[in-house]
Structure 1
Amino acid sequence: MKHHVTTKWLGKMAFESTNPAGTLKIDASPEDGGEGNGLRPKALMLSAVAGCSGLDVASLIRKMKLEVDDFVIETDAELTDEHPKYYSEVTIDYHFHGPALDEKKLQRAVDLSVEKYCGVMEMFRHFAKINIRTFFHGK
């Protein structure tokens, strides 16, 4: 399967990128010559890995008929000091909230996403150390 994305320069440091499901704006921060009116490319990569894994986990929550009131993924990453700067270490925290959490099954859902299903996670493994943490918050 092939994916195609079109990214058009809007002037200064701004771009509009269209993927199969929608359009987003990319821009640099003011200190980097942009106006700060768009998403940053490297941070988009973090959104991509969290979104990819989140879709897997949400699907497994539904299939396993698990009770979850809220599910949040927090992602932090360390950039290298030298150019080209890239993420050398990424920490992904999965937070599940609810009074009746099945911690064992939710952990299994996270593990399946991280180890088997999430293609973006697999791409990240080629350039970064990945740390996975899971937190359960009863209400």
Structure 2
Amino acid sequence: MDFTWQGDYFETDLEYGTLRISGNEENGFRPFQLMVSSIAVCSTSVLRQILEKQRMTVSDIQAHADVTRDESRANRISSIALHYKIKGEGLSEKKVEKAVALAQKNCAMAQTVIGAVNLTETFEISED
């Protein structure tokens, strides 16, 4: 990946399109937003795949991320609390709980930050 300074932001061209990154969200995506997005979407995608492999029907899945940053340490991300809203049929609380734990172990982005960021996950289930 190559990043080019464009005055108020950096830019990179990827297969899907051009990505603008800036410390100022008026000019592009902020780096911490991209990191949190990567972790949330990776975890949720892996979770959906696991649920489907376990023959649970998922009609909708959403993730909400609460982020805590530590101003005393360069405003780094200190914790991310992911909350999944899962809608479908045949969703067992016990199986979903195991799937959430398995998803974290198999999400490359989550595994990249484990040990540096406190990552917690909760979920709620609703039937179609």
Q: TM-score range by the shorter chain?
A: 0.7 to 0.9
CA contact (8 A) 2:56 2:89 kept: no
Structure 1 residues 22, 104: CA separation in 2 closer, same or farther (over 3 Å shift)? farther
| 1:87-118 alpha-carbon deviations (Å, 9 max, x no partner) | 1121111110235423333222211111x211
Q: Percent identity?
A: 27
How far is the alpha carbon of 1:121 from its aligned partner?
0.9
Partner of 2:46: 56
Paired with 2:4 and 2:37, the residues of 1 have a C-alpha distance of 21
* Aligned amino acid, residue 28 of structure 1: G
SS of the residue aligned with 1:51?
helix
How far is the alpha carbon of 1:125 from its aligned partner?
1.5
CA contact (8 A) 1:27 1:39 kept: yes
How far is the alpha carbon of 1:72 from its aligned partner?
0.4
What is the number of equivalent residue pairs in this alignment?
128
Paired with 2:3 and 2:108, the residues of 1 have a C-alpha distance of 22
How far is the alpha carbon of 1:36 from its aligned partner?
0.6
TM-score normalised over the length of structure 1: 0.79
How far is the alpha carbon of 1:21 from its aligned partner?
5.0
Runs of 4+ aligned residues of structure 1 deviating over 6 Å after TM superposition are: none
Given candidates 3, 8, 12, the residue that maps to 1:7 is 3
Q: How big is the alpha-carbon RMSD for the aligned residues of Structure 1 and Structure 2?
A: 2.1
Given candidates 15, 23, 38, the residue that maps to 2:28 is 38
Q: Which runs of 5 or more residues in structure 2 are unaligned? A: none
* Aligned amino acid, residue 113 of structure 2: F
| 1:53-98 alpha-carbon deviations (Å, 9 max, x no partner) | 1221122233223112210011111110224220112111111023
Partner of 1:32: none
